[in-house]
Structure 1
Amino acid sequence: MRKIIVLLTVLLAFQSAKAQLFTKEKVANNIDNLDQRFLSWGYFLGFNQYDFKFNYNEDLNDILVDDDIFGFHLGLIGDMRINDHLNLRLEPGVFFTTRNLRYNESYFAGTEFNDSDLLREVKSTYIHIPLLLKISTKRINNFKPFIIGGVSTALNLSSNEDNPDDNSAGQFRMKKNTYFYELGFGIDLYLLYFKFTPSIRAIFAINDELVRDADPNSPWTGNIANMQTRGVFINFTFQ
Structure 2
Amino acid sequence: MHRKIITIITLLLATTCFSQKRTIQHKPYIDLRPMHFGILVGMNLQDVEFENIGPQTITLEDGTTQQQTIVCDADRWNTGFSVGVLANLRLNEYLNLRFSPTMHFGAKHLTFHNLTNMGQQEGLLHEERQDMKNTYVAFPLDLKFCAERWNNYRPYMTAGINPMINLTGKSQDFVQLKRSDLFLEVGLGCDFYLPFFKLIPELKFCYSLSDAIDHKHAEELKDANKRIYTNAVTSGHSKMIVLTFYFE
For the aligned pair, the TM-score class normalised by the smaller chain equals 0.7 to 0.9
* 1:45 aligned partner: 41
1:149 touches 1:184 (CA, 8 Å); kept in 2?
yes
State how far apart, in whole Å, the 1-side matches of 2:151 and 2:70 are. Answer: 53
Q: How far does residue 174 in structure 1 lie from its aligned partner after superposition? A: 1.6
Displacement, 1:219?
3.0
Equivalent residue number for residue 26 of structure 2: 30
Match of 1:203 among 175, 182, 206: 206
1:221 is matched with 230
Question: How far off its partner does 1:23 sit?
Answer: 7.1
Q: Counterparts of 1:187 and 1:221 in 2: how far apart (Å)?
A: 43
Say which is worse superposed, 208-217 or 177-186, in terms of deviation: 208-217
The alignment status of 1:84 with 2:93, answered yes or no, reads yes
User: What amino acid sits opposite 2:234 in the alignment?
Assistant: A
Aligned to 2:176: 173
Structure 1 counterpart of 2:14: none
1:116-171 Cα offsets, whole Å, 9 max, x none, are 961000001111110000001010111101000100111111034xx4x453xxxx
Q: TM-score, normalised by structure 2?
A: 0.76
- How large is the RMSD of aligned CA atoms in angstroms? 2.7
Instruction: Write the letter of the residue equivalent to 2:197.
Output: F
The answer (yes or no) to whether the contact 2:70–2:229 under 8 Å persists in 1 is: no
Distance in 1 of aligned mates of 2:159 and 2:48: 20
- Alignment partner of 1:122 is 2:132: yes
Q: CA deviation at 1:25?
A: 5.1
Q: Displacement of 1:218 after TM fit?
A: 2.8
- 2:117: which partner in 1? 109
Question: CA distance change for structure 1 residues 110 and 185 in 2, over 3 Å: closer, same or farther?
Answer: same
Cα gap change, 1:141 to 1:61, in 2 (>3 Å): farther
SS at match of 1:70: strand
| Structure 2 match to 1:18 | none
Q: Which runs of 5+ in 1 are unaligned?
A: 1-20
Q: What's the CA shift for 1:227?
A: 0.7
Q: 1:126 & 1:139 partners in 2: Cα distance? A: 34
Richer in strand (by share) = 2
* Aligned residues of 1:159 and 1:175 also touching (Cα < 8 A): no
Distance 2:81 2:126 in 1: 26
- 1:132 and 1:116 mapped to 2: Cα distance? 44
Asked if the contact 2:130–2:173 (Cα under 8 Å) also holds between the matched residues in 1, the reply is: no
CA displacement at 1:57 relative to structure 2: 2.2
What is the rounded CA distance, in whole Å, between the counterparts of 1:148 and 1:102 in structure 2? 34
> What is the deviation of 1:216?
11
Q: Equivalent residue of 2:31, what SS?
A: helix
Please identify the structure whose Cα radius of gyration is greater: 2
| Percent identical | 24
Q: Structure 1 residues 218 and 111 mapped into 2: Cα distance closer, same or farther (>3 Å)? A: farther
The CA deviation at 1:46 is: 0.3
Using structure 1 for the length normalisation, give the TM-score. Answer: 0.79
CA deviations on 1:45-85 (whole Å, 9 max, x unpaired) are 00000100112222867533243521001000000000110
Q: CA deviation at 1:173?
A: 1.8
Give the one of 107, 111, 117 matched to 1:98: 107
AA aligned to 1:119 is R
Given residue 81 of structure 1, which amino acid in structure 2 is its aligned partner?
A: R
Moved over 6 A (4+): none
| Alpha-carbon separation, structure 2, partners of 1:47 and 1:116 | 34
* Partner residue, 1:186: 189
CA distance in 2, matches of 1:222, 1:110: 20
Q: Deviation per CA, 1:23-52, whole angstroms, max 9, x where unpaired?
A: 755411010111000010001100000100
Q: Aligned letter for 2:236?
A: M
